[in-house]
Amino acid sequence: MAGGTSVLFDWTVVLACARLSTMARLFDNPLSAAQAADQVRAWLEQPGAEIIRPAVDHLHRVAELLTEARTRGNLNDAHLAALSLQARLTQAFSPLVLTPLRRTVRSRVSGSVDRPARSRPSS
């Protein structure tokens, strides 16, 4: 996160990482809940780290993306795609890069969208 670059985090992704990192089914030595929380805290305390909050019309944007991409059931991906459009992101690291939503997001990034509502984690 060096060089003045912002990294936007979404709570669904952050919490999924914390959840997965504590699963004994996945790891021989999973993190404790406290260790997972410490890891998340460390990410969010980095310069440029921000939590992105959905805009007021987020549900409309999600539904629009699902319709436009002609896909079903990709609600988390559509949520992340809507956040990406809201923030005018051209690069996102999420499962959405593997879905039909990828083309939709890329084709719409250059369009007119609102700036994201962002918040810093409180200490």
> Domain-by-domain residue ranges, the chain?
7-51, 53-112
More confident residue, 107 or 12: 12
Q: What integer pLDDT is reported at residue 112 of this predicted model?
A: 42
- The 10 Å Cβ neighbour count of residue 46 is 11
Mean pLDDT of 81-97: 67
- The 10 Å Cβ neighbour count of residue 95 is 14
Mean pLDDT of 67-88: 78
- In angstroms, the CA 16 to CA 82 distance is 18
Q: What integer pLDDT is reported at residue 115 of this predicted model?
A: 42
Ramachandran class of 4: left when φ > 0, alpha when ψ lies in -120 to 50, beta otherwise? left
Mean pLDDT of 93-103: 51
Distances (CA, A) of 20 to 33, 40, 79, 87: 11, 12, 20, 26
- In angstroms, the CA 71 to CA 33 distance is 35
* pTM passes above 0.85: no
The tens digit of pLDDT for each residue in 5-64 reads 778 888 888 898 899 999 999 999 999 999 999 999 998 999 988 888 899 999 998 888
